[in-house]
């Protein structure tokens, strides 16, 4: 039996990742195989790989194949969906994420025997399956699998980092088709970045394929847990820091770099991967330098180099992907989210800074006012300045309706790679459409809650929410530079409605509609899920930052329905039912 192992090789970090993967496969595969590097096209969009990478591809005997993203060009993960449809004479095609290493001798023929083979997801990152199966006119499946890390029973849902299938282009076409339909559906939320994994079980069911459930030996989540005593066949490390912190991985990568010196050249040209060359040198690749012939460096040169390094290190542009914007419908758990994030070491959270309002009231989106604000805020924190924040006894104030006071507070950080989160509901939510355009590297988190409980909370909190008094809303809420015509119509309808109960329901709908129209560019956190399973929900935000460790307690969902009449609850149900259902709420 012949196997085709295919992976993405793309300009940037995926060059060193994919080449380390390929070298590890050459070292450890014990079967009849071919390696295929899938190169995303066009180069004008995805970039061109380096000459060093091209040379290593040739040296390792890899076949380079050009692919197109057939899901959506703004969804880079969609590149992998095209990989299972490449031309090959192999009996089985095995797709591997580029951030994987084959750590020991591996004969896949002994394990990858089903039509479809994959490991269940590490965590239940998606559970809104009803609208997915409804979209394809299917009943929910009767079978279940178990997440390999959190040990939760769920409908079939697989980690798409390692997929082995019978060579059949029909599967690739079906997977692509499913992902595209799911991506376009307005009824399915929180589908990115998990879109590829959501489409997999649908494609399997449509084709009536049998599937084999792999264990962690074939896709070990090293970003979540330490390597076990028994070394896995395939290790999914995700981030370079994981390799640096795991001695077995570091030694393994060092040996690969010694054997294939081109790896050191590629790593030196890739940010955060310079350690590969250093490790290879430490393990004996490089010859000792002749100190007698080494030119002496002048003190002034060393000092200027040090200053430039520090300026680079603290340059806030380098940390834009470590900035988080938190917003959502008021009284939907944003402050509780801030409190839990703030409890994690090296995460700074600023809860409702007062200078945000004037900043957005007097600007246009094209001035990118928030980018400048985050830069200045980061610098102040690095310099140890005190920052105004809603803090009491060293903790973020959880309920700002009960205590709404800002104090100057010095935020302690352990290094310059801290996460900086800034929260505001009424300031950030109206400008949501422009955050992705002007700050694409930022992480934007939006909180939402059952409308009945949300409105019940409004009635017992701030006057401007209780009475929907627009005069007391921040001016940015009405800044024409950030508003679309549909927003003008919605605000006008609320303003001209006399019944206060209807006004509140219409306001909730207005907030919800903003989120619905921008849901592809944000991370949606449902209050009910977050309170019950905080660690799982935080993974949606922090999965790309594995250095942050947390084990947060579960809590009880609060409800204020008892303060509302049956008539008011029924009114909310009738007005808010449609948008609420798009977030999975059944009123």
- The DSSP letter of residue 509 is H
Say if residue 14's pLDDT is above 50.
yes
Residue-level pLDDT at 403: 78
The pair of structure tokens assigned to 33 is 């195989």
- pLDDT by residue (tens digit) across 138-152? 999 999 999 998 889
User: What is the rounded average pLDDT of the residues 491-515?
Assistant: 92
Say if residue 416's pLDDT is above 70.
yes
Q: pTM, whole model, 2 decimals?
A: 0.56
User: What is the rounded average pLDDT of the residues 509-521?
Assistant: 93
Residue-level pLDDT at 544: 85
Residue-level pLDDT at 287: 42
Say if residue 355's pLDDT is above 90.
no
Say if residue 25's pLDDT is above 80.
yes
Residue-level pLDDT at 480: 67
- pLDDT by residue (tens digit) across 384-400? 999 999 998 888 888 77
- pLDDT by residue (tens digit) across 212-269? 999 999 999 999 888 987 889 999 999 999 999 999 999 999 999 999 999 999 999 9
Residue-level pLDDT at 526: 96
Q: pLDDT category, 188, cuts 50, 70, 90?
A: very high
Beta bridge partners of 417: none
Measure the N-to-C terminal CA separation of the chain; round to a whole number of Å.
Answer: 54
User: What is the rounded average pLDDT of the residues 367-378?
Assistant: 86
User: What is the rounded average pLDDT of the residues 526-547?
Assistant: 92
Residue-level pLDDT at 504: 95
User: What is the rounded average pLDDT of the residues 167-173?
Assistant: 93
Residue-level pLDDT at 356: 86
pLDDT over 90 for what percent of the chain?
Answer: 67
- The DSSP letter of residue 356 is H
- Say if residues 352 and 360 touch (Cβ distance below 8 Å): no
Query: What is the spatial distance between Cα 264 and Cα 51, in angstroms, rounded to a whole number?
Result: 13
Query: What is the C-alpha radius of gyration for the chain, rounded to an integer number of angstroms?
Result: 26
Residue-level pLDDT at 366: 67
- pLDDT by residue (tens digit) across 267-304? 999 999 999 999 999 987 444 444 343 444 444 545 45
The pair of structure tokens assigned to 173 is 């076409």
User: What is the rounded average pLDDT of the residues 436-457?
Assistant: 92
Which run of H or of E encompasses 379?
helix 369-382
Q: pLDDT category, 120, cuts 50, 70, 90?
A: very high
Residue-level pLDDT at 543: 87
Smallest CA-to-CA distance from 329 within 536, 529, 516 is with 516
The domains located in the chain, with CATH, are 2-122+157-167+211-236 (3.90.550.10), 316-581 (3.40.50)
- pLDDT by residue (tens digit) across 304-333? 544 444 444 445 566 788 999 999 999 999
Query: What is the spatial distance between Cα 196 and Cα 8, in angstroms, rounded to a whole number?
Result: 15
What does each C-alpha distance from 440 to 221, 323, 362 come to in angstroms?
27, 11, 22
Q: Which long-range contacts (CB under 8 A, 24 or more apart) does 400-405 make?
A: 400/335, 400/351, 400/352, 401/331, 401/457, 401/460, 401/461, 401/462
Say if residue 199's pLDDT is above 70.
yes
Residue-level pLDDT at 146: 94
């Amino acid at each position: 039996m012949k196997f085709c192992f295919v992976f993405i090789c793309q300009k940037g970090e995926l060059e060193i990742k994919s080449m380390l993967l390929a070298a590890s496969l050459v070292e450890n595969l014990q079967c009849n195989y071919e390696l295929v590097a899938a190169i995303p096209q066009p180069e004008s969009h995805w970039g061109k790989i380096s000459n060093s990478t091209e040379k290593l591809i040739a040296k390792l005997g890899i076949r380079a194949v050009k692919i197109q993203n057939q899901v959506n060009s703004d969804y880079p993960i969609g590149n992998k969906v095209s990989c299972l449809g490449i031309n090959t004479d192999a009996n089985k095609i095995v797709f591997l994420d580029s951030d994987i290493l084959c750590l020991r001798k591996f004969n896949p023929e002994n394990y990858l025997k089903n039509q479809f083979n994959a490991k269940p997801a590490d965590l239940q990152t998606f559970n809104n399956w009803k609208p997915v199966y409804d979209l394809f006119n299917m009943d929910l499946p009767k079978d279940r699998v178990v997440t390999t890390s959190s040990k939760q029973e769920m409908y079939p849902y697989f980690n798409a980092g390692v997929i082995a299938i019978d060579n059949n282009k029909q599967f690739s076409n079906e997977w692509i088709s499913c992902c595209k339909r799911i991506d376009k559906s307005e009824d399915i939320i929180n589908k990115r970045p998990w879109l590829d994994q959501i489409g997999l079980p649908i494609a399997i069911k449509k084709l009536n394929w049998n599937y084999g459930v792999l264990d962690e030996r074939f896709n070990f989540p090293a970003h979540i847990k330490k390597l076990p005593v028994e070394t896995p066949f395939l290790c999914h490390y995700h981030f370079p820091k994981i390799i640096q912190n795991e001695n077995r991985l570091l030694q393994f990568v060092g040996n690969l770099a010694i054997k294939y010196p081109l790896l050191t050249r590629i790593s030196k040209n890739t940010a955060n991967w310079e350690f590969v060359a250093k490790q290879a040198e430490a393990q004996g690749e490089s010859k000792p330098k002749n100190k007698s012939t080494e030119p002496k460096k002048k003190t002034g040169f060393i000092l200027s180099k040090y200053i430039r390094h520090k300026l680079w290190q603290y340059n806030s542009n380098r940390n834009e992907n470590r900035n988080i914007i938190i917003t959502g419908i008021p009284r939907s758990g944003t402050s509780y989210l801030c409190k839990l994030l703030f409890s994690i070491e090296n995460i700074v959270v600023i809860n409702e800074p007062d200078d945000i309002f004037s900043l957005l009231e007097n600007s246009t989106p094209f001035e990118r006012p928030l980018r400048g604000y985050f830069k200045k805020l980061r610098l102040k924190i690095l310099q140890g300045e005190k920052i105004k924040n809603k803090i009491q006894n060293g903790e973020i104030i959880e309920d700002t309706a009960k205590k709404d006071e800002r104090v100057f507070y010095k935020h302690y950080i352990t290094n310059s790679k801290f996460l900086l989160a800034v929260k505001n509901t009424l300031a950030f939510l109206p400008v949501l459409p422009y955050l992705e355009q002007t700050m694409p590297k930022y992480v934007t988190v939006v909180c939402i809650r059952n409308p009945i409980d949300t409105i019940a909370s409004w009635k017992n909190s701030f006057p401007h929410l209780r009475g929907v008094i627009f005069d007391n809303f921040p001016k940015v809420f009405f800044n024409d530079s950030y508003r679309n015509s549909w927003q003008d119509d919605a605000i006008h309808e609320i303003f001209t409605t006399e019944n206060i109960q209807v006004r509140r329901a219409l306001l909730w709908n207005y907030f919800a509609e903003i989120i619905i129209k921008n849901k592809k560019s944000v991370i949606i956190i449902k209050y009910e899920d977050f309170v019950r399973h905080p660690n799982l929900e935080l993974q949606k935000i922090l999965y790309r930052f594995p250095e942050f460790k947390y084990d947060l307690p579960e809590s009880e969902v609060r409800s204020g329905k008892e303060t509302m009449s049956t008539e008011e609850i029924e009114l909310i149900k009738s007005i808010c039912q449609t948008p609420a259902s798009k977030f999975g709420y059944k009123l």
